[in-house]
Amino acid sequence: MIQAATFIGAATGIALSTYLQLEPGKAMALAVFCLLLVWIAVDGIFAARSTWISRKRRNEAAAIVWRRIGTKLVGLAALLGVVVIACSVFPFFTQSSAVRWIIEAGHTTIPISIALAGATILYVAVTDLVAEEPDDYLNQVGRAVLMQDFREEDVLFALRLLAIKCFFLVLMFSGGMAALSDIAEKPAWAFPPLSAAWFEGLLQLAFLLDIVLAAGGYVATFKLFGWHVRATETTALGWLVCLICYEPFFPAISHAFVPYGEGPGWETVIQEGSAVFILWSVATVFCTVIYVWATVAFGPRFSNLTHRGIITSGPYRFMKHPAYVSKNIAWWLVAIPGFLASGLAEGLARAGMLAIVSLIYVMRARAEERMLSRDPAYRAYAESVAAHGLLAMAKRRLASRPAA
């Protein structure tokens, strides 16, 4: 049910923002807002109600509770201050379309900011009252700011989480704004079906849907609903192989070391309208749909470099990394015709460059598995996929064939 709601929420937000012809910033904000509303209505309210009913009574004086809530608000204010400083100093943030839009729209969002501040205070208070262990990382950050004893590991966790949310939320919001602008100018439905532009429009629409889902996931880290971050990546290699796949790192490295995308595109190599062209295009779109389906399966728990619960539904029933596998297959499908048209030497060189990119994703998958394997639930899931997943089914089918 949550997967269907996730798709409907994101699609409704995109369709509504497109119908209203909103400027990109407002359109992206509306799309994410619609997604969050659906998540809360379908999953969040029931989870919060269950948590409230099953909460354990704590024998604490009211003064202690409110003092802790106040400390958490101090910690939250400090983290927001770090966000403001980062968005004011680092070029990645200051030059992003998302931050520029927020700054430009600041004078019109004062009522929204006041409402969010009130909702935040209420949320922190309610979450503290129902939490099994209310002494969380937010409380520890507040204690550190107030120069009281604090747990260093919790403060470091908070800073890692803050870096992840800031970087990826700005990246996804900015990417969504750009994709919405492109779709407004060149929607897929404006082109003849099965044409190159039509297929390109479908891929762009899938890309936008994925970005909206991801942006919503980085916003929806609500502990009250069970969507919180349980752990973050702590190794330098894990961070490196993840961040290198995104702007501003990947474009710089790709241009300097692995420019596999240069050269003729697949749509110029394969004759448009031919059977091969249609089959090739359908295969590429199919892989992209699997990739987006993998994001849909996460629902409100999507996030890089974090553990927010083990996902076993959707394409994750069949393999551990369907998003990475389908994305890389789609890239190879798009690139192979251009490799062939570039000649043997250049084609092999560019294929080798794309192979390096795929290798990075293999390393990224391994890093994620190492982090998640600390959870017994993930180890059980990995064993289940190894025994019953797509590769296991294929091996059993091959083994059952009679010898020639």
Give the pLDDT confidence of 217-265 residue by residue, as tens digits: 999 999 999 999 999 999 999 999 999 999 888 887 777 666 766 666 6
Task: Please check the confidence at residue 404 and state whether its pLDDT lies above 60.
Answer: no
Give the pLDDT confidence of 110-146 residue by residue, as tens digits: 777 788 889 999 999 999 999 888 999 999 999 999 9
CA 258 to chain centroid, in Å, comes to 24
Would you state the pLDDT for residue 206? 93
Domain boundary among 144, 177, 193: 193
Give the pLDDT confidence of 25-39 residue by residue, as tens digits: 999 999 999 999 999
Would you state the pLDDT for residue 1? 79
DSSP string covering 259-281: -TT-S--HHHHSPTTSHHHHHHH
What are the backbone angles phi and psi of residue 287, rounded to the nearest 5°?
Answer: -60, -40
Would you state the pLDDT for residue 173? 96
Would you state the pLDDT for residue 272? 82
Would you state the pLDDT for residue 348? 85
Give the pLDDT confidence of 342-396 residue by residue, as tens digits: 778 888 888 888 899 999 999 999 999 999 999 999 999 999 999 988 888 887 7
- Please confirm whether the linkage preceding 248 is cis (ω < 30° from 0): yes
My answer on whether 52 and 133 are in the same domain is: yes
Examine residue 359 and state whether it is found in any structural domain, yes or no: yes
Q: Is residue 285 classed exposed, middle or buried when 0-12, 13-18 and 19+ CB atoms within 10 A define those classes?
A: middle
My answer on whether 70 and 13 are in the same domain is: yes
Would you state the pLDDT for residue 265? 67
My answer on whether 187 and 233 are in the same domain is: no
State the CB neighbour count (10 A cutoff) for residue 401.
7
Nearest CA among 119, 6, 8, 129 for reference residue 64: 129
Give the H or E element holding residue 160.
Answer: helix 152-185
| Domain count of the fold of the chain | 2
My answer on whether 166 and 111 are in the same domain is: yes
The model carries a pTM of 0.91
My answer on whether 36 and 140 are in the same domain is: yes
How far is residue 186's CA from residue 193's CA, in Å, rounded to a whole number?
14
State the CB neighbour count (10 A cutoff) for residue 341.
16
Examine residue 207 and state whether it is found in any structural domain, yes or no: no
My answer on whether 188 and 71 are in the same domain is: yes
Higher pLDDT, 189 or 31: 31
Which tokens sit at 368? 């994620």
Domain that holds residue 11: 1-193
pLDDT band for position 103 (cuts 50, 70, 90): confident
Q: Sign of dihedral through CA atoms 204, 205, 206, 209?
A: positive
| Average pLDDT of the chain to the nearest whole number | 90
Beta strands in 335-393 (DSSP E): none
My answer on whether 238 and 187 are in the same domain is: no
